[in-house]
Chains A and B, each alone.
Chain A
Amino acid sequence: MVFRFDSMARATFALLTALLCVGGELIVLGLDYLGIATVLMMTIEMAIMAVFMIMFMMNPAGLMPMTMIHNKRGAAVICALSFALLVVGILLAPWPRRQGRAPADPTMDLGMSLMGPQMLTMLTLGMALFATIVATVVLATRRGRYDRFGDGLQDAPPADPVRGGLGR
């Protein structure tokens, strides 16, 4: 339904429903912590996305039916072929048998793994999150150095309301 609604707000909430179902299925699979984290994160994410939709979309409420897609037939063929290929692979692959039983507390297992053998993964994720914070602020700020000093960084220093740098 996500890509069938005219209204962008309705599409956002359809996506939220789909991702809440993913979180619910994780809980069914025994991953309570990750399932609840997914549900909470997706709820907030989709709320932010709805705000951005209303800010940027030309038709957020779907009052004027319009299409904003391109190459629908080609994409449908690609996706149908991909799905068929994946289903054939899923049904024909010799999946290994389950080895062992799920631990009583998979969250503890995850924490011990992230703080032990998977520490490099955790460090990489932390650095990626930090880089994202910096990149998003740089992208979203209105007054970057090129805005203030020109494309060649050769314009006269602007009259900043508060002087930056050290020694203020």
Chain B
Amino acid sequence: MSLQLFLIVAAALFCIGLFGALTQQSIVMLMMGLELMLGGVILAAGAAWQYIAPTTADGQVLIVVAITAMALEMAVGFAVVTALFRSREIDMTDMAAELKE
């Protein structure tokens, strides 16, 4: 596989995740979209490391950062969902719209 092919797969993952993040009403499903987007970033960073600069570890460090971001996003997301559900019994983004006021 070439660099371009890996990057196109990564772009597809990113855009499918973006579609989920933009359309889903459930907060948990929205988080799944974000996970897919970060999966695309991980794949692109791995491909860039292998096909452009394998002698430096910068691509690998970017993957570590993205994996950590995935873990943080999920932990904080679930804590926010728990707090929201506990206080107002809602798990949908539309029902939490009053939080912006």
Contact = CB atoms under 8 A, between A and B. Distances in A.
B64 A110 contact: yes
B28 A71 contact: no
Contact of A90 (B4, B23, B64, B78): B4
Interface in B1-40: 1, 3-4, 6-9, 11-16, 18-20, 22-26, 28-29, 31-33, 35-36, 39
B55 A99 contact: yes
A37 B67 CA distance: 9
Max chain B Cβ within 10 angstroms of own Cβ: one of A2, A30, A129: A2
Interface residues of A, number: 71
A8 B11 contact: no
Interface residues of B, number: 67
B74 to A, nearest CB: 6
Nearest to B85: A56
A22 interface: yes
Interface in B44-75: 46-47, 49-58, 60-61, 63-65, 67-68, 70-72, 74-75
Nearest to A139: B79
A113 B57 contact: yes
B60 A125 contact: no
A29 B23 contact: no
B83 interface: yes
- Chain B interface SS verdict (over half): helix
B18 to A, nearest CB: 5
Contacts of B70: 41, 45
A138 B31 CA distance: 20
A135 to B, nearest CB: 6
Contacts of B19: 3, 75-76, 79
Nearest to A136: B79
B50 A68 contact: no
A105 to B, nearest CB: 11
A39 to B, nearest CB: 11
Contact of B22 (A79, A109, A125, A137): A79
Contacts of B29: 3, 8, 11, 68
Q: Which 5 A-B pairs have the closest CB atoms?
A: A100-B55, A113-B57, A75-B22, A102-B54, A139-B79
